[in-house]
Amino acid sequence: MKKLINSMWGYWLLLLVISLGIAAAIYEIWLRGRI
Amino acid sequence: MFEFLIAGVEVPYLLLVMVGITVGMVGGFIGVGGGYMVTPALIVFGFPGYMASGIDMTHIAGKGVVSSIRHREMGNIDWTLALTMIAGTMLGVELGVRTLVYFKHLGISSVVLLITSVAIMLFLFIYTQMETRRAHKKMEKMAQEGKKVGREVQTSNLPILFQKIPLAPIVRCRNARVIISMWVIVLVGAVTGFLAGFLGVGGGFIRVPALVYVVGASTHIAVGTDLVEIAVSGGYGALRHSIEGNVDIVAVLFMIAGAMFGAQFGSIATAYVRGPAIRYILSYSLILATFGAVLRLVYVLSGQNIELLSLAAVMLTLGEMIFLCLFILSLVFFATRYRAGKWVPDWVKTLVV
């Protein structure tokens, strides 16, 4: 994990995955079937 | 759940507050209104398109004022630059809107508009990303050689060329530490305003790179100065949309409630980083907005509602806001750790102060 964070692109990718995960959670909790 | 009577939709109000916080934070940090994130998000939540634009513009005006006040306190606004540019921006926006109307009369479709916006955003992303990477490497080299790294490092030669134009009157922008022909500033305002008016966006993502790479202002000054432009143009847009009945004031209030915190935090966060860090976030926001425009382009070209495409649009709209916020928050977190002498990734060391 430390190696991943130590690379800028690795960190970029990690944040992107976390962000998409949170977006998916928001979609499942609040938005599914309503948009 | 909250029923917004003017817009006629039911949306969880916490979602609007969250959008306000995230877009406020990003806007305060990179100096954009964030319309390219908010309008699609509101449409995703069920607001009609015209209402989404009105709510977005009104909340941008409020957020612009909050961010401008905070940036003013931090000395990030150059009023000479801001006021000179506003004149050019207003002229440019009017010309852009008129050109758009003219092209629509000629029968040019929204596909052309989308392709133009994709091309511009992609170009700005590539230029900003390449220049920022060069600046980042230069800073790392300076740090390795034991030299003092300043708050701003910029490697583009364009500002030197533009500052040499001997067209009177020459103005001195004290805060930006730039001496330049007034006409260059007006022209930058007019060109960026034209593009903003033509593409139907606020234009912060075009103006901030223009202020850095053409005028030669530091990134912090570009961000603060552009937020003044955003407060003015957002205020005018809010007035126009309110008269047209495109604003659900309750939705705006929820968003501004979030934006108050987000914009303050985003503005204060600029004090923890060097100029290239802001430009990195700006370039990431540009590429994510480009993906959004490409998705809309695919949607328009396919002419049908594909479920996978809708899901991708939702994920991208929410994901990009969360991604940019997490990046800003983590930079502040790393800066705090760095100040305390704790471990931070190597690439962060020259980006934070």
User: Which of B25, B347, B351 has the most A C-beta neighbours within 10 Å, making it the best mutation to test the interface with A?
Assistant: B347
DSSP string, B132-164: HHHHHHHHHHHHHTTPPP-S-----SHHHHHHT
Interchain pair A35, B44: CB under 8 A? yes
CB under 8 Å to B227, separation ≥6 — which residues?
B27, B28, B31, B64, B67, B68, B71, B77, B204
Taking the C-alpha atoms of residue A12 and residue B284, their distance in angstroms, rounded to an integer, is 10
- Arithmetic mean of pLDDT, B84-100: 85
Query: What tokens does B92 get?
Result: 């440019």
* SS3 of residue B217 by DSSP: coil
CA distance B195 to chain A (A): 29
- Arithmetic mean of pLDDT, B142-166: 88
What would the pLDDT profile of B229-263 be if each residue is shown by its tens digit?
988 888 888 888 888 888 888 999 999 999 999 99
Taking the C-alpha atoms of residue B346 and residue B118, their distance in angstroms, rounded to an integer, is 33
Cα–Cα nearest to B221, from B233, B208, B230: B208
pLDDT at B301: 76
Query: What tokens does A10 get?
Result: 């690795």
Interchain pair B319, A19: CB under 8 A? yes
Residue B9 backbone class (left: φ over 0; alpha: ψ -120 to 50; beta: rest): beta
Query: What tokens does B172 get?
Result: 């001195």
pLDDT at B129: 94
Cα–Cα nearest to B74, from B263, B209, B285, B256: B263
Q: What is the C-alpha end-to-end distance of chain B, expressed in Å?
A: 42
Tell me the range of B46-55, B143-152, B191-200, B209-218 where mean pLDDT is highest: B209-218
ipTM comes to 0.93
Cα–Cα nearest to B312, from B327, B335, B300, B295: B295
| Low-confidence winner among B36-50, B82-96, B242-256 (lowest mean pLDDT) | B36-50
Dihedral sign computed on CA atoms, order B263, B268, B274, B275: positive
Q: What is the DSSP letter of B82?
A: H
- Residues from chain A that touch B352, judged by Cβ atoms under 8 A, are none
pLDDT at B200: 66
Interchain pair A23, B318: CB under 8 A? yes
User: Which of A2, A11, A19 has the most B C-beta neighbours within 10 Å, making it the best mutation to test the interface with B?
Assistant: A19
The CA–CA distances, whole Å, from B341 to B37, B286, B329, B337, B338 equal: 36, 33, 19, 6, 5
Query: What tokens does B315 get?
Result: 């994920």
Interchain pair A31, B314: CB under 8 A? yes
User: Which of B17, B44, B133, B322 has the most A C-beta neighbours within 10 Å, making it the best mutation to test the interface with A?
Assistant: B322
Interchain pair A18, B326: CB under 8 A? yes
